[in-house]
Amino acid sequence: MSRENQELSDSNLAMTGNSPAVRDDAVVRGWSFYRDLSVLTSGLCLLFGSVGLSEGEARADVAPQVYRTYDVVREGSSIGTITVNEARRGDVLEITTTTDIRVKIAFVEVYRYDQDATETWRAGKLVTFRSRTNDNGTHHTVAIVAREGGMRTDVDGRAEDVTAALVPATLWRRPTVGPMSMLDPNEGKRLNVTASEVGTETKGETVISRVRLHGDLPRDLWFAGDTLVRMQMKGSDGSLVVTQLRR
């Protein structure tokens, strides 16, 4: 792999938790996005089937689906979008995420990054996570499945049992303050991260809280309640990469 392509691949971790459109060297080198996000599991249907609710109870417990779109911008230039779909039934929550990044030079696409991911939570605990990624022609699959006494990870067909409470570094859920173990949803690397509260601000009637991540995934996150509204990080060249909830 050339140095230029390696820098492009490394930069994907900009949004991990961990974005481009025109490429001169600065654009390609710097954009640093977090691929942190997403998969291909229809496990919710299986999960819902196992809950054992009556038809009437099921209808009462189904909440409307929530769709959100985020724009990924580097130094004022749009480089892609991330869409998030949340579906809740009772204490089960499924989050499906699609990431679409494109880098072009003179209208010619020179780099692409696609990821689909699904994570399923029950009663606030991770049940499964699965992602499939196309990083400019390099493909990866990552999975986490909760098991008694720990979790099983599968990265590109290599399975491993772990005792640590891993969570995917998708960052759509507000992290708890303190140290945590995360899994990069792109390549399945273990990440050691610590979250701290920075402060709050009020916009209209909405209170926005700011959380800062340290360690293997440095970036700032803004939440309205438990909803991510903004993510900000510095690219390897010092450029500012922002992921912003579309209004």
> pTM for the complete prediction?
0.72
Cβ count within 10 A of residue 54:
8
Q: What is the pLDDT of residue 31?
A: 36
Residues making up the chain, counted from first to last: 247
Q: Kindly list the domain boundaries of the chain, sorted by start residue.
A: 3-245
pLDDT of residue 95: 95
Contact present, 234 and 240 (Cβ < 8 Å): yes
Strands (E), 4-107: 66-74, 77-89, 92-105
Q: Which two tokens mark 22?
A: 């025109």
Run means of pLDDT, 10 residues per run, the chain, 247 residues: 40 40 38 32 29 39 84 88 94 95 81 94 93 95 92 95 85 88 91 94 90 95 93 84 90
Q: What pLDDT score does 88 carry?
A: 93
- Give the pLDDT of residue 61: 63
Backbone angles phi, psi at 50, to 5 degrees: -90, -10
Contact between 19 and 74 under an 8 Å Cβ cutoff? The reply is: yes
* Residue pointed to by tokens 């991911």: 117
What would the two tokens of residue 227 be?
Answer: 């909803």
How far apart CA 152 and CA 174 sit, in angstroms, is 23
Q: Which amino acid is at 84?
A: V
